[in-house]
Amino acid sequence: MSHPRRRLPRLALVSVLLAAACGGEQVLLPTTPTPVVGPTWYLQAANDTTLPARIAARVIGVVTEATYLDSAQIALDSAGTYEQRYWIRVYLSGTLDRADAVVDRGTWTASLGTYTLTSGLRTRALALTAPDSGRLVSSEPFVTYLTAPLTAGRYGRTRP
């Protein structure tokens, strides 16, 4: 067992070497075993269904509304901000009512392996976990009505 005072110089040396390896830039990574900062992540599946996937359905009066998620992507940066883009289609009684392209931006924090993303544009928050370096798992609201369901998403580094 090493003495605590002996570990401190080693930790300082590792920190200096890491800073030198990064060209002197300080790179801030979240406190999670699998960092997700960097290139864009692409949605591979929603609610265990390949895309496009039906993510919500409800009845409004005598009309059935169904929402389909066609695509989504998300990017987190080391400054603690994120940008997400997603594309949905809404059908009313089987007829296409509208197709929306949504851009969302906000901030993220990491704690105990979970990333919490909070929108700066709308009342919306989502949670991401990174079970390994090749995928993210999300729980997020893609639709914005009052009783909107959460969608379980699976993101990867490549487009589906």
2-14 pLDDT, tens digit per residue, is 444 443 333 333 3
Count of Cβ atoms closer than 10 Å to residue 18 Cβ: 11
Cα within 13 Å of Cα(128), Cβ side: 30
Residue pair 69/55 in contact (Cβ under 8 Å)? The answer is yes
Distance (Å, whole) CA 83 – CA 53: 22
Element (H, E) at 102: strand 95-111
Q: List, for residues 88-126, the tens digit of each pLDDT value.
A: 999 999 999 999 999 999 999 988 888 999 999 988 889
β-sheet bridge partners, residue 56: 67
Q: What's the pLDDT score for residue 35?
A: 55
Q: Given the DSSP bridges, would you call strands 125-132 and 135-140 parallel, antiparallel or unpaired?
A: antiparallel
Minimum mean pLDDT range among 44-58, 93-107, 138-152: 138-152
The SS3 assignment for 122 reads coil
Q: Give the pLDDT band (50/70/90) at residue 66.
A: very high
Q: What's the pLDDT score for residue 106?
A: 96
CATH 2.40.128 for domain 41-156: yes
Q: Give me the residue spans of the domains in the chain.
A: 41-156
In sequence order, the 6+-apart residues with CB closer than 8 A to the CB of 79 are 28
Q: Cis omega (within 30 of 0) on the bond before 52?
A: yes
What pTM was computed for the model?
Answer: 0.73
